[in-house]
Amino acid sequence: MYGGCEIHDTIPALQKALPHHNFIQQGATTLGSMYSKHGRIAEATYEWYSHPKFARHTVKPARQIYREIVAKDHLKNIKEDNLIKKDSWIIVSFVLEAEARMVKDGEHITLIKQLVDKPGHDMARRMMFPLDHLATINDPKNTVMWDDPFIGEQYWAGKGDWLARFSDELNSMFDNRVMLLFTPPARQWRSKIHGVYHQLPTQGQYSNAYWKKKTGEYWETHSWEKVVKGYKGIYNGFRRWSSFKPRNINVPWQDLIGDDEHYMGKNPYHYDEQSVGKISKYIEKEIKEIEHEQRQLAV
């Protein structure tokens, strides 16, 4: 289960509905981060994480920072942990590609919440992460979004080849046993106080990176359509550059309601319990279709 909350939140329901399967939460990062080189920030992060005076490997947020900046093992550890069996599948969601990133001197770091440095959200600072590098990571001049021209070019073959490389890696591990899960950002929300209400979400509205610079571009009324078009483009690009044909699970926006009180915070891809149940049903249906096809082949 490669993705964010939109896919990991379905695991309990799927495990209950399909107990003969084992659903593994894998986590994810942006492809740019996964395929970027190590630089000064990565070197400093390694020294910070490995300091003998502090057992930072025992602290979950520190492990998450290390994984994002140094290890970048979101696919590698699948092989190292021997998780791949002959009948293993991977379900992929590209939601993390919507996150803001820091790009500087060849390093590409997804701006996960553990790296945000602002009043009330200073987890890295409290763990004594190097302050000069923390400032660089949080500097708006180094922040780019999914629709930045540089980022857009890197997805395509002949440019950065991110999608082709990702497809090749999945193919080498799972052959064609790949499902793509598409869940559009919520445009309706559930609140304990107000009930269900409608609001066109924007990427910048909930992005950690934009707390310092909320630009008009990310608040205009057509941003939902713009985000969905760009988001679908990543899936289309993956299918275009893949040497195999993945299976597709597309959840309509009408089935999705954002959760104002989600345990990970408000975000266009953090859905309420009812929506998570619907996503799990779409995934369950696809798995049962695969099982049916396999039984037919065995006859």
Select from 33, 41, 9 the least CA-distant residue to 23: 9
DSSP-H helix ranges across the chain: 5-8, 11-17, 31-34, 40-50, 60-66, 76-80, 123-126, 131-138, 149-154, 162-174, 203-206, 223-241, 273-298
Percentage with pLDDT > 70 across the chain: 91
Instruction: Give the number of other Cβ atoms within 10 Å of residue 205's Cβ.
Output: 16
- The answer on pLDDT for 218 being more than 70 is no
DSSP-H helix ranges across 25-161: 31-34, 40-50, 60-66, 76-80, 123-126, 131-138, 149-154
Poorest-confidence range of 43-47, 115-119, 200-204?
200-204
- The answer on pLDDT for 11 being more than 90 is yes
- pLDDT for 144 equals 87
- pLDDT for 16 equals 97
- The answer on pLDDT for 205 being more than 60 is no
Over range 285-294, report the average pLDDT.
95
- The answer on pLDDT for 7 being more than 90 is yes
- The answer on pLDDT for 193 being more than 90 is no
Poorest-confidence range of 73-77, 114-118, 233-237, 274-278?
73-77
Instruction: Give the number of other Cβ atoms within 10 Å of residue 91's Cβ.
Output: 22
- CB–CB of 190/196 below 8 Å? yes
- pLDDT for 287 equals 97
Poorest-confidence range of 11-25, 152-166, 279-293?
152-166
Query: In the structure, what pLDDT confidence band is assigned to residue 214 with cuts at 50, 70 and 90?
Result: very low
Query: In the structure, what pLDDT confidence band is assigned to residue 99 with cuts at 50, 70 and 90?
Result: confident
pTM across the whole model: 0.89
- pLDDT for 219 equals 41
CATH 3.40.50 residue window(s) in the chain? 5-36+72-100+145-298
- pLDDT for 201 equals 55
* 228-274 confidence digits (pLDDT tens): 888 899 999 999 999 999 999 999 999 999 999 999 888 889 999 99
Over range 79-106, report the average pLDDT.
87
- The answer on pLDDT for 222 being more than 70 is no
* 136-173 confidence digits (pLDDT tens): 999 989 988 877 888 888 988 767 799 999 999 999 99
| DSSP-based three-state secondary structure for 194 | coil
Higher pLDDT, 217 or 264: 264
- The answer on pLDDT for 5 being more than 60 is yes
- pLDDT for 202 equals 52
Which bin fits 82, alpha (ψ -120 to 50), beta or left (φ > 0)? left
- pLDDT for 200 equals 64
Higher pLDDT, 136 or 208: 136
Q: Which CATH architecture has domain 5-36+72-100+145-298?
A: 3-Layer(aba) Sandwich (3.40)
